[in-house]
Structure 1
């Protein structure tokens, strides 16, 4: 596309896009879309490349969306979002790699959260990894007695540790129990531990 104004040189704007199915079978599906822009204006990157790749891997139970943005020739940002289900634990991970200053967002980081769920117990755990080191981890658990038991109780456990520059303790643990007897409406709350 050519943009022109009276008494000035024409400016060229180049825009190109393509979508392609890379793989399609019973176990895997993969599709990609690319968009490339070249333009002369100084307020926006002169060259911009965007690519999205979506992958479904049924063998591993993964859904992956990888996004790439390239600009100024050799600078590239990559974000990968992964959703997975490996029974009985669904999880989500988000990873980011970028060439900019790591002051605000680390240049190579990944955060993941995993859930576990059955009839009497629910867990959540997660981590923030910077480079190849875990910088923040957390775990939470709620356990409930089955309805047919004589006493009802809920047990709660939680802990986290962090190696970031946050105004939080580097490690914390909490554990507690709530118990009651449905026939007598008597309740006993016990919070034995917490740091």
Structure 2
């Protein structure tokens, strides 16, 4: 009985995520949207208005303080709006001349080296999906990263998210590297096709390692 209780206690602490990591080196251009695609207004990583910040906070669950902290840390936002100003989609860019440490899956931290752009927390409003907004926002974010000196760009999605994968590939990303992230209490394991690494949860998972760069 004690052994069984120990087993189930361990199972409850076990968290697994299967993801796909993608890299963009600038060699592949994103697919162009169809000629009949609806017109949208896309803002490319400039200052955002209070209305946009409030919209992102309301729809994403992030607080305004968290959004401000991200912006103060140098992160950038790309977003798409309808003609009437309604927020349709948005996403974040992390790009710096020093190593960044960001919150990631299962409570771990992702280490983003200097010179690598990282795209994260992209969301599209349900009513605005299937219009190519994700692909278009990614293309704008990629352009901004390379314009600011990135040597490559990384992004990931859950392995079972087919729609996200299609949008990422359409934006010119390649090398869909499957990775399994396993968290058991204070320990974690990251396994790709040819690498397995164990570590402590207070440590970092390197984005470059995920991208095989």
TM-score normalised over the length of structure 1: 0.28
**Structure (1 or 2) with the greater helix fraction:** 2
TM-score, length-scaled by structure 2: 0.26
Structure with more strand by fraction: 1
Structure scoring higher RCO (CA < 8 A, sep ≥ 6) equals 2
Structure with higher Rg: it is 1
